[in-house]
Amino acid sequence: MAVDITLLFKASVKTVKTRNKAIGIGFDSPKDEIFKRNRPKGGFSPRAKEVVTNITKLKDFLLQHRKDYVSAGSLISSDLTCMTDSERDQIDQDAQIFMRTCSEAIRQLRNEAEKQLVPAQIKEHRGVVLDLIEMYLKGVCKLYSEQRAIRVKRMVDKKRMSRMTPEQHNLVAKTPPSVTSEEKSIKEETPEKSVSEVQDVTWTDPVDPVEDKLSPEEIQMFEQENQRLESEMNNLVDEVRQIEGKVVEISRLQEIFTEKVLQQEAEIDGIHQLVVGATENVKEGNEDIREAIKNNAGFRVWILFFLVMCSFSLLFLDWYDS
């Protein structure tokens, strides 16, 4: 069985080196050194670490400003947020540039690693490292895409709600007399126009610019997000049902426990009555024992008196006969 004696070997070498240094024997050339100095590191490791550090900074930044970023157009949050739309657009632009830069750096590192003449094991190691960095970058890109999708969805919802609100106010404000007066004025000015054209002009919907800017990829992203939310809601519903079943079971057990407690309370009351009765019986028994002891003492006295009188009678008769 092999034994690791590396530490012992290092200690022995250090002892020899200290002794040689004390007697004035040194190394003439670097070739004679047993432990050579650290070789200068190549450019791959520092650059890879720098890419990982930059990706981590981007991830921390997105998570730190996630709440303010996705609150754009939220229907439940207040309009007064710490971040404006221009700042959110700037975050989008900077994040996209940052991710492209990191992707380009990973691609350059991969090309350089393939071109360098290094052993196969080192090349494989560098390839695995770059794959892991690329997966990390994809995870951060996915995080940013989810945040952006939530922001765009909330903006669309807010636009729709803001578009529906004026229409509702217009429907409430309009009355038949005003419509007829408007139609009469239009007929007097331009007899050729029909009432249908006037209604078309009145009910023209403005085109939402946000909906026009949605690309098929964003629509697909929204659909995927809706499916994910639907699955999460289904899971939540299942969990709620399980919790409801457990709560019902707990309530049933609690009712059984309450019944048992009440039953035990009645039994405890009966035991208490029995204990009280037993105590009274013990007291009466003690009184009877005392009375019996007294009676036995008097009976013994009378028996003793009878025996003494019989003894005196016999002595008297014996004296009288003699």
CATH, range 43-72+82-161: 1.10.132
pLDDT of residue 183: 44
**SS3 letters for the chain?**
CCCCCHHHHHHHHHHHHHHHHHHCCCCCCHHHCCCCCCCCCCCHHHHHHHHHHHHHHHHHHHHHCHHHHHCCCCCCCCCCCCCCHHHHHHHHHHHHHHHHHHHHHHHHHHHHHHHCCCCHHHHHHHHHHHHHHHHHHHHHHHHHHHHHHHHHHHHHHHHHHHHHHHHHHHHHHCCHHHHHHHHHHHHHHCCCCCHHHHHHHHCCCCCCHHHHHCCHHHHHHHHHHHHHHHHHHHHHHHHHHHHHHHHHHHHHHHHHHHHHHHHHHHHHHHHHHHHHHHHHHHHHHHHHHHHHHHHHHHHHHHHHHHHHHHHHHHHHHHHHHC
User: Mean pLDDT for the chain?
Assistant: 76
pLDDT class for 241, splitting at 50, 70, 90?
Answer: confident
Compute the average pLDDT of residues 129-138: 91
50 against 222, higher pLDDT: 50
pLDDT of 109 over the 80 cut: yes
Higher-pLDDT residue of 28 and 10 is: 10
User: Could you state, in order of their start, the residue ranges of all structural domains in the chain?
Assistant: 43-72+82-161
